[in-house]
Amino acid sequence: MDDQLHGRIEELVSEEHSLWEREASGEATDSDRQRLDSLKVTLDQCWDLLRQRRALREAGLHPDAARVRDAEVVEHYQQ
């Protein structure tokens, strides 16, 4: 599962970079910008899920108990 999650993160990051390149060159559309916003949330959720899985594993618990948290939760973490 962690390998799949890492793979998904890499796919999302690649798409994000492509969209940022379009933005930097002045070619981005409103749809591209909306997709960037969506990607940010999805990436935050993926990273959060990966951290949950690692923490559960380190605590001797089953990592499959981790769940994707709502966007409202992961987007309001204090850093």
pLDDT in tens, the chain (79 residues): 899 999 999 999 999 999 999 999 999 999 999 999 999 999 999 999 999 999 999 999 999 999 999 999 998 876 5
CA neighbor of 8 nearest in space, from 68, 74, 71: 68
Structure tokens at 69: 């948290």
Per-residue pLDDT, 25: 97
Residue type, 43: L
pTM of this prediction? 0.89
3-state helix, strand, coil in the chain (%, to 5): 75, 0, 25
